[in-house]
Chain A
Amino acid sequence: MARILIVEDEIQINDLMMKNLRLVGHECTQLYDGAEAALRAQTEHFDLILLDVMLPGLSGFDVIGELRGTKTPVIFVTAKNALPDRLKGLQLGADDYIVKPFEILELVQRVDTVLRRAGGPRRSFSFDDVTVDFDSRRVTKGGKEVEMTPKEYDLLEALIINRNLALSREQLIYLVWSRDFDGENRTVDTHVRRLRKKLGLEDRLKTVFKTGYRLEV
């Protein structure tokens, strides 16, 4: 869906971010050095940059200084939860920050939020004969519009954003309903059943043992 540049000198963490973002449909470029990242980001177009702070060559703070002209959104990935670091990053124009160690869901969600805020190209998602338009919140199957309640649509969108990743019922409640939703996990099950029925997702929207649900596309 989006072209993302990952700048992180720790190979394992770089790979970790790349693998997860690729799973949910992003195209990733991996770099391990600040100076190289500054150069590439100025000559090539990216929709988003994930930038580590402590980098060889140029530090993340220096890199973002170099990128001031490009307007590419930046999310800092920092090992320190210290407020001064976070503030400095945001002051320098970063759009968000992620503190290591992070959860996959958090990474995916923040990336999606920043991309959405930055606008960009028309956003929709299609699989099989189903098409979901994120802007108009309309869903069609085989060219025919499918009627959905707002919560059903929100659930479908959350599953699409985190596709190929299993989401627990608690996470889905957090994403779709609200953090102070006091209903039961069965509410999620009911909605998932309805989605499966309406869109014929029995093979795509799977129940993951002990975890929750996963949309596999």
Chain B
Amino acid sequence: MRRRFWLRTYLVTLLLFLVCLYAGLFSLAFFTYGRSVENTENACLAEERYLARSFERDLFDMEEAENGTSPKLLMQSYAQNYEKQRVSLAFFEEDREVFSSFAATPALPENGTISQIKEDGERWILISGEIGEGRYRLLYGRYAGDLDAEFTSLMLTYAAVASGVSLFLAVFLLFLLKRLSLPLEKLRVTTERIAAGDMTVAAEEKGKDEFAALGKSFNQMVEKVRAQMEELADDAERKQALVDNMAHEMRTPLTSIRGFAEYIEKAAVPEEERRDAALRIVSETDRLKRISEKLLDTAFLRENKIEKETVDLAALLGDTVRRLSPLAGEHKTALRVLPGAGSAQGDPTLLSMLLYNLTENAIKACRPGGEVVLFADENRVSVSDNGKGMTKEQLAHVTEPFYRTDKSRSRAEGGAGLGLALCRQIVLSHGAELTFDSQPERGTTVTVVFPEQEGQP
């Protein structure tokens, strides 16, 4: 099945060649034979003319001399002369046969024409001519069997040559086609390996022919497919990690809720203890609720287009500071806005949520006595703190859902580890850029750069 094209090409080419070869050779053979017969006939005609004239003269001389020699004897001597050349002669007087050296005298053909007869499987060329104003007739016959023999031997020679050439061609063509189809075969093997899942193989690109071009295109295609597959795998891995994290995050409060419910049900403890357990159940339920809300926010942002309007960034910062002052007070952290002005295109509610989250994180990163500074300038806002900072490794994961740089701390703060993932989603949906600049024990600066607006430098 898979070698059908190759085989078909081979057979068709071979057949075409053989037909041409044999047709050519045999046409040539027939042409040569025809020419050879014609030449012989012409030679016979000339000989007969000569012979007839000579005979006529001799006959005339003989009648003049009246020496008694009969035309029959004269003819006999002629015939003896020509016997070696395999020419037979017959002489007629008034349509009566006077002499014949033929084995069996054939019927007289028409006067002055050339004809051929077959006598006992032997070919003869016959010519008849008039002598002496139609009184006598001469029949000239030449044996032409040698022409047939010549033709047969010619045909045999040609057939032998043609067979030799055919055989050579068949073998040569086989190797030629095999060689020519080699790149195709290699490509097939490569394709099969790729189909079996091995994406590391590549097709040959050597040379400048169509196969090299095909190999090149093929490799580009494989590369594209491989990149796509990797992307899909990465995507799946990220999603799996998210699901794993989520399962873990949900499982922790669920464990507490289940455990304390069971405790209330089973334990022989005072009323106070039971109330404490019930309160824990309530607080863990709230935590689950927060996680699910943030997840919904993240999902909402991912799937919906936002409506943009011009937002005054300085006013946004002022509002954020107002809302977070109580928290900053609890943490004994100073919270202030540097003078500056800027604006951005965006959804005010989402941007407010973004700044709130970033600032809340900054406050929580600070130790008592720390400071959080907010700054707006043209199309950017930044939130800086002088808190505990993050290592490079932590920075790399910081916007992943459920990631916490310090598990125990932010759990105690009631965070779900979704804040920065949400921030990232908001920033992405505004086409803005989120950058972190952080050093352990020195602090962190988070900067959001919005895309430049039309009409502004």
In the complex, the answer to whether A104 meets B262 with C-beta atoms within 8 Å is yes
In the complex, the answer to whether B265 meets A211 with C-beta atoms within 8 Å is yes
**Chain A 52-65, CB within 8 Å of chain B: the 1/0 string?**
00111000000000
In the complex, the answer to whether A54 meets B251 with C-beta atoms within 8 Å is no
Q: A9-B411, A33-B408 are in contact. Are A102 and B255 (CB under 8 A)?
A: yes
CB closest residue in chain A, given B404 = A56
Q: A54-B407, A165-B266, A216-B268 are in contact. Are A12 and B256 (CB under 8 A)?
A: yes
CB closest residue in chain B, given A33 = B408
Does B360 count as interface, using CB distance less than 8 angstroms?
A: no
Q: How far is the CB of B261 from chain A (nearest CB, A)?
A: 10
Q: A12-B280, A54-B407, A79-B248 are in contact. Are A103 and B255 (CB under 8 A)?
A: no
Residues in A neighbouring B255, C-beta threshold 8 A: 10, 13, 16, 79, 100-102
**Chain A 102-113, CB within 8 Å of chain B: the 1/0 string?**
111000000000
Looking at chain A's contact residues, is the secondary structure mostly helix, strand, loop, or mixed? loop
Residues in B neighbouring A23, C-beta threshold 8 A: 267-269
Q: How far is A35 from B129 in the complex, measured between Cα atoms in Å?
A: 138
In the complex, the answer to whether B262 meets A103 with C-beta atoms within 8 Å is yes
Residues in A neighbouring B273, C-beta threshold 8 A: 19
| Interface CB pairs A-B, < 8 A, 14 | A9-B411, A10-B411, A13-B255, A16-B259, A19-B267, A56-B408, A79-B248, A100-B255, A101-B254, A101-B259, A102-B259, A104-B259, A165-B268, A208-B266
Q: How far is A214 from B269 in the complex, measured between Cα atoms in Å?
A: 12
Q: How far is A166 from B269 in the complex, measured between Cα atoms in Å?
A: 11
Residues in B neighbouring A145, C-beta threshold 8 A: none
In the complex, the answer to whether A10 meets B406 with C-beta atoms within 8 Å is no
Does A20 count as interface, using CB distance less than 8 angstroms?
A: yes
Q: Size range of the interface on B? A: 20 to 34
In the complex, the answer to whether A16 meets B263 with C-beta atoms within 8 Å is yes
Residues in B neighbouring A10, C-beta threshold 8 A: 252, 255-256, 411
Q: How far is A54 from B265 in the complex, measured between Cα atoms in Å?
A: 29
Does B149 count as interface, using CB distance less than 8 angstroms?
A: no
Residues in B neighbouring A32, C-beta threshold 8 A: 408
**Chain B 212-253, CB within 8 Å of chain A: the 1/0 string?**
000000000000000000000000000000000000100111
Q: How far is the CB of A165 from chain B (nearest CB, A)?
A: 5
In the complex, the answer to whether B251 meets A101 with C-beta atoms within 8 Å is yes
Q: How far is A104 from B261 in the complex, measured between Cα atoms in Å?
A: 10
Q: How far is A200 from B256 in the complex, measured between Cα atoms in Å?
A: 37
Binding site for A on B (CB under 8 A): 248, 251-256, 258-260, 262-263, 265-269, 273, 277, 280, 283-284, 406-409, 411-412
In the complex, the answer to whether B259 meets A9 with C-beta atoms within 8 Å is no
**Chain A 4-35, CB within 8 Å of chain B: the 1/0 string?**
00000111110110011001000000001100
Residues in A neighbouring B412, C-beta threshold 8 A: 11
Residues in B neighbouring A11, C-beta threshold 8 A: 411-412
Q: How far is the CB of A175 from chain B (nearest CB, A)?
A: 14
Does A151 count as interface, using CB distance less than 8 angstroms?
A: no
Q: A10-B256, A13-B255, A101-B259 are in contact. Are A80 and B248 (CB under 8 A)?
A: yes
Residues in A neighbouring B258, C-beta threshold 8 A: 101
Instruction: Kindly identify, within residues 190 to 213 of chain A, every residue whose CB is under 8 Å from any CB belonging to chain B.
Output: 206, 208, 211
In the complex, the answer to whether A13 meets B259 with C-beta atoms within 8 Å is yes
CB closest residue in chain A, given B260 = A16
Residues in A neighbouring B256, C-beta threshold 8 A: 10, 12-13, 16
Of B262, B277, B284, B412, chain A has the most CB atoms within 10 Å of the CB of B262
Residues in A neighbouring B407, C-beta threshold 8 A: 9, 54-56
Instruction: Kindly identify, within residues 44 to 100 of chain A, every residue whose CB is under 8 Å from any CB belonging to chain B.
Output: 54-56, 79-80, 100
Q: How far is A13 from B280 in the complex, measured between Cα atoms in Å?
A: 10
Of B252, B255, B266, B268, chain A has the most CB atoms within 10 Å of the CB of B266
In the complex, the answer to whether A12 meets B284 with C-beta atoms within 8 Å is yes
Q: How far is A56 from B258 in the complex, measured between Cα atoms in Å?
A: 24
Of B267, B283, B412, chain A has the most CB atoms within 10 Å of the CB of B267
Residues in A neighbouring B265, C-beta threshold 8 A: 166, 211
In the complex, the answer to whether A56 meets B252 with C-beta atoms within 8 Å is no
